[in-house]
Amino acid sequence: MNSSAILLLNCPDHQGIITEVTKFITDYQGNIIYLDQYVDTIDKMLFMRIEWELDGFLIPRDKIKEYFSTLFSHRFQMEFNVYFSDVKPRMAIFVSKMSHCLYDLLARYKAGDWNVDIPCIISNHEDLRYVADQFDIPYYVWPVNKDHSNRKEVEKAEMELLRKENISFIVLARYMQIISDEMIKEYPRHIINIHHSFLPAFIGANPYRQAYERGVKIIGATCHYVTEELDAGPIIEQDVVRITHKDTPDSLRLKGRDLEKIVLSRGVTKHIERKILTYKNKTIIFG
């Protein structure tokens, strides 16, 4: 497969931007293989994803960003990112004690479903080392004290590892610790969490217990980017499953696990494919 460039942009909507951008790529002999755009008619914003083959494109790949910036960025108040399909993102996974999301992620990785590298798994517990071992992925444990007194040191060590491994984004696969603001700032819109409820219902701890107490007839799971405010970041994907009065907190936990792993993996897929734009506190997900 040929390498391609992926451009994700957003800017205030004006007539002609789509024409200009597609003309630019076509004029310099880029073969467009994907184009999708969306206009937010309330905020009057344009969002766009274009992908074109690098083969034969007259502008060298390391100049694309500069040219695009010069020609369009200021003129249209455009924010944009360029990615290349042959540059694999590097993903770190954080886990605590539950294996279902981790297995789901690693099974896809091992099957070659994703254009991604996973150089490390990080945890506050030893429990899931055997899973990492099964897949031959280095597993790092930094236990957090009960009083959280060593959290700063732990985060420092984690950050060093993330930098050393050149990690591009983080997946919290039922990681039961709060992420510090420092780490969030280092990875803005690049930390993906799975929350085991249909957000914004049941924020915080024990959502299945909360759902049981409230007597809902449907439970959900939510994949979102982590921001400073707990469980309040941009939502990437949600799904639900029907329950009945017969369900207990335990059976909800079991049913919820299937939701959690599928919803998380769908979100991670979209992120790896560069199909997510964030704007304000929301996501635009291209198809």
CB 212, CB 247: distance < 8 Å: yes
Determine which residue in the list 26, 69, 70, 81 makes contact with a second copy, applying CB under 8 A: 26
Buried b vs exposed e over 145-167: b needs ≥16 C-beta within 10 Å? Answer: eeeeeebeebbeebbebbeebeb
- CA 74 to chain CA centroid, nearest Å: 28
Considering CB under 8 A, how many residues would be counted as binding a second copy? Answer: 64
Stretch that binds a second copy, among 1-9, 20-28, 86-94, 116-124 (CB under 8 A): 20-28
Question: According to the binding rule CB under 8 A, does residue 11 interact with a second copy?
Answer: no
The yes or no reply on residue 1 touching a second copy (CB under 8 A) is: no
In contact, 140 and 164? CB cutoff 8 Å: no
Q: Rounded to whole angstroms, how far apart are CA atoms 97 and 199? A: 23
The nearer residue to a second copy, 120 or 234, going by C-beta atoms, is 234
Q: Do 229 and 193 contact (CB within 8 A), yes or no? A: no
Considering the complex, what minimum distance in angstroms separates the CB of residue 108 from a second copy?
Answer: 8
Q: Which residue has the tokens 């992908």?
A: 51
Site for a second copy in 74-103 (CB under 8 A): 99-100, 103
Q: Using the rule CB under 8 A, give the single segment among 2-10, 142-150, 154-162, 278-286 that binds a second copy.
A: 278-286
Least distance (Å) from a second copy to the CB of residue 145? 27
Minimum distance from residue 173 beta carbon to a second copy (Å): 12
Contact range with a second copy by CB under 8 A, out of 57-65, 175-183, 187-195, 259-267: 259-267
In this structure, the strands spanning 169-172 and 90-95 are parallel
Pick from 52, 64, 65, 55: nearest CA to 26: 52
Rule CB under 8 A: choose which of 4, 193, 227, 265 binds a second copy: 265
Kindly state whether residue 150 participates in binding a second copy, applying the rule CB under 8 A: no
- The one catalytic residue among 231, 239, 247, 250: 231
Of 163 and 209, CB closest to a second copy: 209
CB of 182 to a second copy, least distance (A): 25
How far CA 54 is from CA of 37, 62, 83, 127, 161, in Å, comes to 21, 11, 11, 45, 33
Residue 256, phi then psi, degrees to nearest 5: -65, -35
243 vs 143: CA distance, rounded Å: 36
Binding of a second copy at residue 245 (CB under 8 A)? yes
**Three-point CA angle 49, 117, 85, nearest 5°:** 30
**112 Cβ neighbours under 8 A, 6+ residues apart:** none
Residue 166 found at the interface with a second copy (CB under 8 A) = no
235 binds a second copy (CB under 8 A): yes
- 207 interacts with a second copy by CB under 8 A: no
250 among known catalytic residues: no
In the chain the first and final C-alpha atoms are separated, in Å, by 21
CB-nearer residue toward a second copy: 153 or 250: 250
Would you please indicate which residues are annotated as catalytic (active-site) residues?
Answer: 231
Q: Where on the chain is the footprint of a second copy (CB under 8 A)?
A: 15-16, 18-19, 22-23, 26, 31-35, 37-42, 99-100, 103-104, 107-108, 110-111, 113, 134-135, 198-202, 214-218, 220, 234-240, 242, 244-246, 248, 254, 258, 262, 265-266, 280-285, 287
